[in-house]
Structure 1
Amino acid sequence: MDVVRVVVQRSQAARVEIDEKIVGQIDHGFVLLVGFTNGDGEKEINYCANKIAKLRVFSDADGKMNQSLAQVSGEILSVSQFTLYAETKKGNRPGFSNAQEPTLAAKNYDLFNQRLRESGLTVASGVFGADMQVYLQNDGPVTIIYDTAEIDL
């Protein structure tokens, strides 16, 4: 099972705080909730980063969702989110055994953010593994989910 999951939310403003201190902040762009599972690696990361960098969900002059993040000078706030791999079929308490082990997931999260930056995008982030508060002013709302299980890599 090699499946990177990324929830992309178009936002007007967003920030991440830890202990009431801002650690990452953007004015407008995307908030990304990013999760990894066992087997995820560079192939899946490159695919998702490339798709997100080129995602056209911002309005053009005609009001049509046709512009990318770079075209609107937007930024990314990337937040690690192991709970995207919650197992909810049994009982009422989710299990998280499908989430990638933290040491490898932290490396993959850093690589994912690096790939986005290599696309020329500004990327702010939370702190991997920290208890974070995410504040988001959703724009639209527009929410897109990338899940590499849906494609053949």
Structure 2
Amino acid sequence: MIVCVGVVGQANNPLFIQSYTEGDDALKFHHVVHCALDVIEEKATPKKGGTGYNETYLGLLYPTEDYKVYGYVSNTRVKFIMVSDDLDAKEADVRGFFKRFHAAYVDAALNPFHVPGKRLASPTFAARVNGIVNGFGKSTA
């Protein structure tokens, strides 16, 4: 089950962070998302002499005792982070989640009233992300 998702801008500014737990864990998940940025930076930065990193899906960033943190970076350097308490999540499900999450972000960013680099306050985007989160791990067949 997904317990938190986040979208972080190019300047490491939070654009959207939503937790899906019963408790008041919002601050804890803000910290987890913030810590994931260092790992994303390390994985997504081309190494010296390398040709660059062109894979957008970064996979498992780091595990904790209770959660696994996954990452994805768009071509425009917008970072997507998912925190899951399902320690046996399938790689294909996680990849599919990020593709749908990225598509939802692109649709929200194309809104002419959205200011690039500012928080995503769209209720439509939040509802679409909630649907994607609720469908995580369920078979599409």
TM-score (norm 1): 0.32
Higher strand share: 1
Higher helix share: 2
Structure with larger Rg: 1
Q: Which of structures 1 and 2 has the larger relative contact order (alpha carbons within 8 angstroms, sep 6+)?
A: 1
TM-score (norm 2): 0.34
